[in-house]
Amino acid sequence: MPTREEAIDALRGVVDPDLGMDIVDLGLLYDVEIDGAKVKAIHSLTSMGCPNGPAIQEDMRDAISVLDGVEEVEIELVWEPAWTPDKMSEDAKFILGIG
Domain 4-84 has CATH 3.40.50.300: no
Q: What is the pLDDT of residue 75?
A: 98
pTM over 0.75: yes
The secondary structure of 25-93, three-state, reads CCCCEEEEEEECCEEEEEECCCCCCCCCHHHHHHHHHHHHHCCCCCCEEEEEECCCCCCCHHHCCHHHH
Q: What is the pLDDT of residue 3?
A: 96
pLDDT at 26 over 80: yes
Share of the chain above pLDDT 70, in %: 100
Task: Return mean pLDDT, the chain.
Answer: 96
The per-residue pLDDT for range 49-73, each reduced to its tens digit, is 889 999 999 999 999 999 999 999 9
Taking residues 30-55, report their average pLDDT: 95
Taking residues 32-46, report their average pLDDT: 97
